[in-house]
């Protein structure tokens, strides 16, 4: 009778090779983006002027609008942002901010998000159709629907899509419509990504009981949910540098209290929830940038290698 084969251990080089094969297997499914319109709104009189609008204050006290955005306008806006980034890179030698907003280079095949982004200007959201090629004309017909929720205090939330550019163009359309309705003080400010829902495919099957033994802080009950739930706190590197500089600047002043420091530290940390399934798919929520989601995968990867299925 043949003896059962022992599970082979992977060295660091083999682990790096496997990781290199599966590092671009993350797909973003939904992005939640918030902004403020810098003005209070009367939703009872405002919802009549919008098409595809639902307003039921008894159910939910906000105005929900489905804003269509063409794929051609998204591509045009991405081109304009890349051109601005290239010109800024030639001037200063690094990819830094334009108009005070940080822009990150996206890895190949994956769209990168930054912590704070800026809404497109009016000339960027307006796309001419006169000199369009046949492919661009077909792309113009393809529409992406963005779910926009507008509150009476001027807060606006965009969900329902995985494109940051589409959300920003939808916000600009709302701003332009409100200005046509004599809301002259309307201006989109504080555009922030609040949540990213992504799915990562690790490339091999996972033995969940083994993973639950290796990883300490894990919630695993197969009778309730068929996945291992893990929460990981990740620090935003971009905000960490700015917070340290502000702490040094405010350290000698009377208003530099412990409470403000704690609130500042809480804003620089993303608590990412990861659900690890036996098929090798990992659902990630709670992150506000692609870099933080990738850091969570880097933290989980050594434990995933140890609990890899041999079948």
Q: What is the pLDDT of residue 51?
A: 84
Tell me if 31-194 shares its fold with 202-306: yes
Report the distance separating Cα 89 and Cα 105, nearest Å.
Answer: 11
Q: What is the pLDDT of residues 79-115, one digit of tens each?
A: 888 888 788 777 765 544 444 444 444 444 454 443 3
Q: What is the pLDDT of residue 2?
A: 44
| CATH of 202-306 among 3.40.30.10, 3.30.310.10, 3.40.50.800, 2.130.10.10 | 3.30.310.10
Q: What is the pLDDT of residues 187-245, one digit of tens each?
A: 899 999 999 999 999 989 999 999 999 888 899 999 999 999 999 998 876 555 444 44
What CA–CA distances, in Å, run from 202 to 112, 117, 209, 311?
19, 30, 17, 15
Q: What is the pLDDT of residues 13-64, one digit of tens each?
A: 433 333 333 445 888 999 999 999 988 888 888 888 888 899 998 888 899 9
Which one-letter DSSP state was computed for residue 49?
A: G
Is the predicted pLDDT of residue 130 greater than 60, yes or no?
Answer: no
Enumerate the domain spans of the chain: 31-194, 202-306
The neighbouring-strand residues paired with 30 are: 197
Number of Cβ within a 10 Å radius of residue 280: 18
What CA–CA distances, in Å, run from 88 to 14, 95, 168, 215, 222?
40, 7, 21, 44, 52
Task: Write out the two tokens for 277.
Answer: 């399934």
Task: Write out the two tokens for 72.
Answer: 């051609």
Residue with the larger pLDDT of the pair 287 and 18: 287
| Fold designation for 31-194 | TATA-Binding Protein (3.30.310)
Grade residue 134 by pLDDT with cuts at 50, 70 and 90.
low
Strand order in the sheet with 26-36: 53-56, 60-70, 143-150, 155-161, 26-36, 189-201, 281-287, 269-276, 225-235, 219-221
Grade residue 252 by pLDDT with cuts at 50, 70 and 90.
very low
Number of Cβ within a 10 Å radius of residue 85: 17
Q: What is the pLDDT of residues 262-278, one digit of tens each?
A: 445 455 788 999 999 99
């Amino acid at each position: 009778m043949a003896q059962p084969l022992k599970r082979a251990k992977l060295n660091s080089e083999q682990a790096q090779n496997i990781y290199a094969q599966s590092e671009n297997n993350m797909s973003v499914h939904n992005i939640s983006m918030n902004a403020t319109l810098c003005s209070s709104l009367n939703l009872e009189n405002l919802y009549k002027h919008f098409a595809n609008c639902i307003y039921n204050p008894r159910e939910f006290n906000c105005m929900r609008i489905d804003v269509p955005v063409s794929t051609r306008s998204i591509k045009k806006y991405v081109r304009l942002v890349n051109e601005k980034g290239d010109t800024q890179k030639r001037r200063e030698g690094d990819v830094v901010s334009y108009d005070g907003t940080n822009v990150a280079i996206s890895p190949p095949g994956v769209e990168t998000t930054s912590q704070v982004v800026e809404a497109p200007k009016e000339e960027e959201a307006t796309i001419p159709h006169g000199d369009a090629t046949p492919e661009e004309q077909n792309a113009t017909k393809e529409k992406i629907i963005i779910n926009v929720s507008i509150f009476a205090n001027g807060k606006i939330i965009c969900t329902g899509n995985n494109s940051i550019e589409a959300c920003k163009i939808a916000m600009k359309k709302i701003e332009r419509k409100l200005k046509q309705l004599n809301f002259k003080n309307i201006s989109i400010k504080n555009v922030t990504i609040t949540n990213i829902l992504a799915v990562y495919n690790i490339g091999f099957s996972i033995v969940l009981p083994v993973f639950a033994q290796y990883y300490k802080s894990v919630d695993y009950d197969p009778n309730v949910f068929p996945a291992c739930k893990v929460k990981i706190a990740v620090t935003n590197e971009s905000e960490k540098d700015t917070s340290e500089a502000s702490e040094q600047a405010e350290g000698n002043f009377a208003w530099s209290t412990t409470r403000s420091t704690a609130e500042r530290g809480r804003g620089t940390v993303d608590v990412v929830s990861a659900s690890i399934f036996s098929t090798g798919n990992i659902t990630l929520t709670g992150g506000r940038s692609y870099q933080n989601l990738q850091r969570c995968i880097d933290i989980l990867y050594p434990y995933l290698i140890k609990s890899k299925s041999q079948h």
